[in-house]
């Protein structure tokens, strides 16, 4: 959370956030997600997350397995492939 506060204060052109929503309640996650959307507008933002609800609205989602990229695209594109991302979404109840 402290690093996210720094991002808001510094306002950089490139933002890298690693697991910013891990260990948060759903309500707090949604507050952070909304703040990320505002802070990252018109910026390059790399968001590393295991929570699918955190990355669902990203322009580009990259799925990695064993250190290799196995899929990439946005939420809708990846669902259409019916591969790993589709499986993750369906196993976690994210729509």
C-alpha separations of 75 from 3, 11, 53, 89, 94 in Å: 27, 27, 11, 10, 11
CATH fit for domain 1-57, picks 3.40.50.300, 3.30.470.20, 3.30.70.270, 3.30.70.860: 3.40.50.300
pTM greater than the 0.85 cutoff: no
Domain segments of the chain: what residues? 1-57, 59-95
pLDDT digits (tens, 9 = 90+) for 16-73: 888 877 888 888 888 888 888 888 888 999 989 888 888 888 999 999 999 999 999 9
Cα separation, 21 vs 56, whole angstroms: 13
What token pair was written down for 31? 């507050």
45 closest CA partner among 75, 67, 74, 12: 12
What token pair was written down for 60? 């580009």
Contact between 72 and 59 (Cβ < 8 Å): no
């Amino acid at each position: 959370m402290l690093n996210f506060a720094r991002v808001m204060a510094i306002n950089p052109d490139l933002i890298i956030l690693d697991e910013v929503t891990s260990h948060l309640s759903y309500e707090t996650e949604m507050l952070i997600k909304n703040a990320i959307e505002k802070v990252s507008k018109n910026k390059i933002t790399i968001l590393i997350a295991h929570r699918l609800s955190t990355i669902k609205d990203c322009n580009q989602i990259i799925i990695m397995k064993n250190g290799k990229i196995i899929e990439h695209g946005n939420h809708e594109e990846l669902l259409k492939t019916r591969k790993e991302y589709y499986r993750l979404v369906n196993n976690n109840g994210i729509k």
